[in-house]
Copies of this chain bind each other. A is one copy, B any other.
Amino acid sequence: MTDTDGVKMSLDALADMSRTILTRHGLAPAHIEAVTRTIVAGERDGCASHGAYRLLVCINTLKTGKVVRDAEPRVAEPAPALARVDAGGGFAQLAFERGLPLLVQKARANGIAALAINHCVHFAALWPEIEALTEQGLVAFACTPSHAWVAPAGGTRPIFGTNPIAFGWPRADSPPFIFDFATSAVARGEIELHRRAGKAIPEGWGVDADGHPSTDPQAVLQGAMLTFGGHKGSALAAMVELLAGPLIGDLTSAESIALDAGAGSSPIGGEFVLAIDPAGFLGAEAAAHIARAEALFTGITDQGARLPSQRRYDARARSMRDGVVLPRALYDDLQALLA
């Protein structure tokens, strides 16, 4: 099972390790299952920064006391096409699972619907939530602020979170078309992985505390990250703040990091999720038009370009067959959580 470079594990073994660690640190059983599902899914899909590594982040947040370990999500219906889940200060995963059936039902009944998750602690990727909706045949969009770590285009001080945007489109005979990316130049987890590995980061990822461009991961973590795509990425980051912040009565990234007050917990606030039923606009013709989208995907892949989640689906196929390999240092850090 073990070699010098890494530790090979089955997905079931990883899930068991996750449960054991989370139990040891006092998370309630329903949350343990929901969190473990996203941790294992991330590692399975080759997302190093959102896989087993996030257990360290999660335990750190538990230690800060900034997350409610046994929060019971409460679902509400503020408007005919809107659903809302008060996560009660717990992790977002269970709140999403509890709100999902109502969101699906409302999207089917009205053609479109949105779900707000409020008062949650968020540390996961968004694509697991998107996949839960594409599995129901729905088109999906989600976004969430984080902590204020990212400067706006033309500025040098953090105001935005890494503010991911995710979108999904169901496909009949293939895994869904899904993208999920930070509006920062990279995910903060990537910079943290560089710091752990002692490697410099590329230019364009961030500036130091004085606002000067830097390739030192530690300096950028203490300064400000930059958005992708200049003023366009910056505009999208602002949209995420607004949609998943004030629009749903929840915190901006600046308010989240102020609340954290240096404790180093995961971001606290809200998430905005949108679901659209293709049958809403198209009725019985929906399947034919959804199928027509396949020509778009073929037009992309036929010229040697890749669809957004292809690498993830390839990793998934490998992991389902062969299991995953955790870096030795990460494995040791996780084992230390059981000491």
The answer to whether B246 touches A179, judged by C-beta atoms less than 8 angstroms apart, is no
Known A247-B278, A303-B152: A81·B167 in contact at CB below 8 Å: no
Give 13 CB contacts A-B under 8 Å. A79-B281, A80-B80, A80-B110, A80-B111, A81-B280, A111-B114, A112-B113, A116-B281, A153-B305, A156-B303, A179-B238, A246-B292, A246-B293
Identify which of residues 220-256 in chain A touch chain B, using a CB-to-CB cut-off of 8 Å. Answer: 228-236, 238-239, 241-243, 245-249, 252, 254
Identify which of residues 274-321 in chain A touch chain B, using a CB-to-CB cut-off of 8 Å. Answer: 274, 276-278, 280-283, 285, 289-290, 292-293, 295-296, 299-300, 303-306, 308
Which range holds the interface residue count of chain A?
35 or more
Chain B residues with CB below 8 A from A230, complex form: 228-229
Chain B residues with CB below 8 A from A254, complex form: 295-296, 299
Contact residues of A with B, CB < 8 Å? 78-82, 84, 109-114, 116, 139, 151-157, 159, 167, 169, 177, 179, 181, 228-236, 238-239, 241-243, 245-249, 252, 254, 274, 276-278, 280-283, 285, 289-290, 292-293, 295-296, 299-300, 303-306, 308
Known: A79-B277, A157-B303. 11 other contacts (CB 8 A): A80-B80, A112-B274, A139-B247, A154-B305, A159-B296, A167-B235, A177-B242, A179-B236, A228-B229, A228-B230, A245-B296
Interface majority SS on A: helix, strand, loop or mixed?
Answer: mixed
